[in-house]
Structure 1
Amino acid sequence: MKAIWNNTVIAESDNTKIVENNHYFPMDDIRKEYFKASNTHTRCPWKGKASYFHVEVGKEKNEDAAWFYPSASLAAKPIENYVAFWKGIEVTE
C-alpha cells in the first residue's frame, strides 16, 4: 500500500492493518521527512488517545492529516504506533 499526497509517496508498506476502513501503516514505513508533530489530540472511545502529524511536501502543509495511537487501548494494541491518513491523502495499492 502507498499513501500519496501532492504527487509524493509519503508512506509505503506491505504490512498495513485495516481498522474501520483505514489502512494503518507501521511507523517505520512512513517517510519521516514529510511528517511534523502536531499538538492535536483526540480520543476514540475504543482505541484511546490519538496523536497527529502535519504532512509537509515542498511548501505545502496538510495540517493534522495523519494520526496514530502512541498508547492504544488493549482492544487496539495491534495498531499502536501505526499511522493512518485523511484530508486528501490517497491510500492505494
Structure 2
Amino acid sequence: MKATMHGHVLAEAPDDETIVIEGNVYFPPTTVLHDLLSESDTQYTCPWKGRSQYFNATIDDKQVRDVAWSYPDLRASAIDVVGRDFSGYVAFSPGVVVSRG
C-alpha cells in the first residue's frame, strides 16, 4: 500500500503489514515518512480507540493541516477488537491517495 499527496509519498508498506479499520488503511510507523509530517494541535478522542494524535504535512513548502492521525496509546479493548496492536500506526485523510503499491 502507498499513501501519496501531490505526488509525494507519505507512507509505503506491503499490504500484509497494513491494517484496515473502519475503511481506513493504517500504516506501521516505520513505513511513514515522518520528515514530511509534523504533529498537529488538533485534539480528538475516539470512543473505542482512545486519544489520537493528528499530523500536518509540509509539501512543496505548503502546510496541509490534519492529513494523518495515529493512536499512540490505544485502549486495550481496541487491540482486542482489531485483534492486533496498532499503536502508533498512521492513517490518512481523504485528501491523501491510498492505493496498492
In structure 2, the partner of 1:45 is 47
More strand by share: 1
| Paired residues of 1:68 and 1:80 also in contact (CA < 8 A) | yes
Residues 1:81 and 2:88 are matched in the alignment: yes
Q: CA deviation at 1:39?
A: 1.4
Residues 1:91 and 2:98 are matched in the alignment: yes
Q: Distance in 2 between matches of 1:76 and 1:61?
A: 31
Identity rate, percent = 35
Task: Compute the RMSD of aligned alpha carbons.
Answer: 1.0
Q: Write out the 4+ residue segments of structure 1 that deviate beyond 2 Å after TM superposition.
A: none
Q: CA deviation at 1:87?
A: 4.2
Q: Distance in 2 between matches of 1:40 and 1:12?
A: 24
SS of the residue aligned with 1:63? Answer: strand
Distance 1:60 1:87, change over 3 A: farther
In structure 1, stretches of 5+ residues that fail to align are none
In structure 1, the partner of 2:10 is 10
Q: Distance in 1 between matches of 2:63 and 2:6?
A: 10
In structure 2, stretches of 5+ residues that fail to align are 80-84
With normalisation by structure 2, the TM-score equals 0.87
